[in-house]
Structure 1
């Protein structure tokens, strides 16, 4: 129903945000910035299930990026 559609849309939005963040991160692969503030609270509405889904999406994207890099290295 509507609830499922909203949940799916939220998950898709999370995945898109995650993908954008990963692309930005990959563009500056210099490493992890040393000024990350780990004391910041998570954003509002970040429930455990949505965080888990975002993590899974990020993991899948990292795998694809890694596989793509491996294939390009083999073809070089």
Structure 2
């Protein structure tokens, strides 16, 4: 059985690796969206970027009033 500190170190390395991979993916998609030679490629890269940056949004039943959290 591994001691707790070793497990925490492995978890931290995994989380950091995932974060770096996600950041690299977003950076690549953003650069392609800006620098692609054709409008179709830029449009596709923007769609990919929108998917990567999607946030969960709760709908406001009263659009005139702010939601309380």
TM-score, normalization: structure 2? 0.43
Query: Normalized per residue, which structure has more helix?
Result: 1
Higher relative contact order (CA 8 A, sep 6+): 1
Larger-Rg structure? 2
